[in-house]
Structure 1
Amino acid sequence: MFRLPRVLASVAAALAVAAGVGVWGPAPEAQAVPDTIPLTITNNSGRAEPVYIYNLGTQLSSGRQGWADAAGTFHAWPAGGSPPVPAPDASIAGPADGQTMTIRLPKFSGRVYFSVGEKLVFSLAEGGLVQPAVQNPTDPNRDIRFNWSEYTLNDAGLWINSTQVDMFSAPYSVGVRDAAGQTRTTGTLKPGGYHAVFEGLRASGWGGLIHEGPDGRPVRALSPGHGVSTGGVPADAMGDYIDRVWRHYASATLTVTPFAHEPGTRYTGRVSGGVMHFTDAAGNVVTSFQKPDSDSVFGCHKHLDAPNDQVRGPISRTLCAAFNRTTLLTNSEQPDQDGSGFYRDAVTNHYARVVHEQMADGKAYAFAFDDVGAHESLVHDGNPAGASMTFEPYD
């Protein structure tokens, strides 16, 4: 299998669902999407080091895992081993600073990685590709500055994002060009935004998320979903807010309308016996949630698990977003669409707060379900003529 870190798996699943992959299948009205489209990569980083590009994922026509070369040709991974064995070198030499190059994106659900200065280390286990896990202090990629974009290209079009769900590191933006030649982009930082993210984390007391390289400069900031396990943030970082929410909804009602296109589908939640029970319009209990801990909130898992169904998953996604944005005590009608009220509680997801604050369009993928209410850094077109990825200045 193509192994994703747990929180990025949530984003990949969300992209796949949005793209019509999986239970719904591809949209039949958009069969004109070609087998590959161009991805134009521009290096505006201001860095002199070489850059390496990797296009890894699932070939949608076959379900096989592998990589694509610069021409978009698919190559399946060979068998792995136990212990894992080195993966074939799938790197593509990227553009130098100030230069642009173009590769082809095939119909994948996958990632475009890029690394600065050094190639990434990938290996193959018996279960499939083992990707970098920078929260692991022994990971060979830990001191390499790298990042990735997730995308799905299928017969319904292209979805491509700029993600910070696992970490904030070398900054980049993504774009999609439609058939009329118009380009929509997202993921661009404000001027000075790269350093402002690290400064904001330190100011909030979350500087423990920052990993510095041998030169003493920040390589990345881990998301708090990883920070709980590494000690970068306290294990009870959200505990006070969670306690207040649970007390509040013991005597108040929370209403969740999980589908924007189905305003009549509404569920109401109340805490009873320490458990939040949600009922439908007929008064039937449809799902229940144990009181989450901070890790459940940051990772949108465990007590806030979100299966790919039509009831618990959508409710859980909404709850997860509201907990991270700390809007549950200011708005009992969720999801809250007004971003001006996000992250206002003293106890909040400061990582998501500072990342969103430093984005030119305010959009980011700072936790797995940041797409609730369309606050995520994602662009889509049903008939894409091309895509773009731009490496931005950070030193």
Structure 2
Amino acid sequence: MRIKHHLQVIVAAVATVAGVLISSVGRPVEAAPGEAVPATIPLKVTNNSGRADPVYVYNLGTNLATGQQGWADAAGNFHAWPAGGNPPTPAPDASIPGPANGQSVTLRMPKFSGRVYFSYGQKLVFKLTTGGLVQPAVQNPSDPNRNILFNWSEYTLNDSGLWINSTQVDMFSAPYAVGVQLPDGTTRTTGHLKPGGYNGFYTALRGQPDWAGLIQTAPDGSVLRALAPLYGVETGALPASAMDDYVNRVWSKYSSQTLTVTPFADQPNTRYFGRIAGNVMNFTDSSGATVTSFQKPDSASIFGCFKLLDAPNDLVRGPISRTLCAGYNRSTLLANPNQPDPNSAGFYLDSVTNHYARAVHAQMADGKAYAFAFDDVGNHESLVHDSNPQQANLSLDPLS
């Protein structure tokens, strides 16, 4: 999930050893008086990858109590990042030894909004600028993490509970699943691939003209990841015209027909009506007043759900844009003039579609994924949540 374009920063969990973890001052980590959720919860990381190389885990994010950015150690203690520089300076080593294959480790997760990274074989390289942490950006061939196999989950843990997801908004790479254990002992889980799903995804991408260029390999030829299509367009790995034919057909259809958007499932009477006029899609409300307009989007705007499909955090343009973004990526706008389309069986059927997202969803055991920023439209995202989490789980799955 691409944080700067996503609806909310969600989820990540990790695990470690048996026994009671203690704070740096020797006291058990307990809930503060009156808190709905303890100050920290267990984060169990289990390594089912089948790989022999070492695993490194990182818990990076924003301390929700102070707004400071930093990292958490294995006991859940917060450490603020020091001041960075220009050029960027090395960040402190925030890595936590992860579990060996077939083993688990349990960390403590504090009230953060951020990411849990994991890497195989090598530690990740993080640096600090004057503006804060530099996250890995492997679409840049000179990024120091380009040839490291890694991935991450995103999460928020606060007084209202835990939200944790698996995300493919930036890339599809080392597979993993996330879960949250409920007070009754059951666990909600999402993110597992079908058997053979990891290789199946890459096979599907290679079989799609123009899309195989998203795949990145290591110097030894092993597959590391597939970039999300926005980065493919930005780097030239995917033609910038990838979605043009579909957009042109949408533009033609709604020059003479009306596209109805009902952005809130719990507000069926809140509807907006889109028509093309003067090469602009204008949306009106039930009174006929124009509420917002969209220029003809390009592929980058569609894949990134930004630029010409910007989605501000408001109650009109943002919800309409989110719906349009989902409709374009899933190629449902031509088949259904009433959006969002709730029927996933009709997603990605057009020959022009987000084939990356199609392949991701096709290989998920539960069909859920965050293959683009607004994949949560209609609740098709790989997210679990509970208001009283007992434990978060992160399962490192086989690369097969």
Mark yes or no: TM-score above 0.5.
Answer: yes
1:182 to 2:186 alignment: yes
Looking at structure 2, the residues matched to 244 and 196 of structure 1 have their Cα atoms a distance apart, in angstroms, of: 31
Which one-letter code corresponds to 2:355 in the other structure? Answer: H
**Identity of aligned pairs, percent?**
68
Deviations for 1:90-140, whole angstroms, at most 9, x for unmatched residues?
000000000001011111000000000000000000000001000001000
CA–CA distance in structure 2, aligned partners of residues 88 and 12 of structure 1:
30
* Mapped contact 2:9–2:154 kept (Cα < 8 A): no
Match of residue 258, structure 1, among 259, 263, 273: 263
- Matched ranges for 1:28-67 at <5 A: 31-67=35-71
Cα distance in 2, alignment partners of residues 188 and 96 from structure 1: 19
Q: How well do the aligned residues superpose, as a CA RMSD in angstroms?
A: 1.2
Q: Which residue of 2 aligns with 1:195?
A: 199
Q: Name whichever of 226-235 and 162-171 sits farther off.
A: 226-235
Residues 181 and 391, structure 2, Cα contact 8 Å, conserved in 1 = yes
Give the aligned partner of residue 14 of structure 2. Answer: none
Work out whether 1:368 is the aligned partner of 2:363. Answer: no
- CA offset digits 1:37-66 (Å, max 9, x no partner): 111100000000000000000000110000
Match of 1:210 among 199, 211, 215: 215
* Contact 1:7-1:300 at 8 Å conserved across structures: no
| Matching of residues 1-395 of structure 1 within 5 Å | 7-11=2-6, 13=8, 15=10, 31-205=35-209, 206-395=211-400
Write the distance in 2 (CA, Å) between the matches of 1:39 and 1:267: 43
The Cα shift of 1:11 comes to 2.5
Q: Give the structure-2-normalised TM-score.
A: 0.93
CA contact under 8 A between 1:108 and 1:154: conserved in structure 2? Answer: yes
Question: Do the aligned partners of 1:12 and 1:150 also contact (CA within 8 Å) in 2?
Answer: no
CA distance in 1 between partners of 2:137 and 2:8 (Å): 19
How far apart are residue 281 of structure 1 and its match?
A: 1.1
Equivalent-residue separation in structure 2 for 1:11 and 1:269 (angstroms): 24
Count of residues paired in the alignment:
377
Is the CA contact (8 Å cut-off) linking 2:5 and 2:306 kept in structure 1?
Answer: no
Change (3 A) 1:299 1:54: same
Pairwise CA distance, 1:15: 4.1
> What's the secondary structure of 1:133's corresponding residue?
coil
Shift of 1:260: 1.1
What letter is aligned with 1:53? V
User: Structure 1: 5+ residue runs without aligned partners?
Assistant: 1-5, 17-29
Shift of 1:293: 0.3
1:207 partner amino acid: A
* Separation of aligned partners in 2, 1:104 and 1:262: 39
User: Any idea what SS the aligned residue of 2:318 has?
Assistant: helix
Q: Counterparts of 2:67 and 2:315 in 1: how far apart (Å)?
A: 24
Q: TM-score, normalised by structure 1?
A: 0.94
TM-fit CA distance, 1:12: 6.1
Please give the secondary structure, in 1, of the residue aligned with 2:263: coil
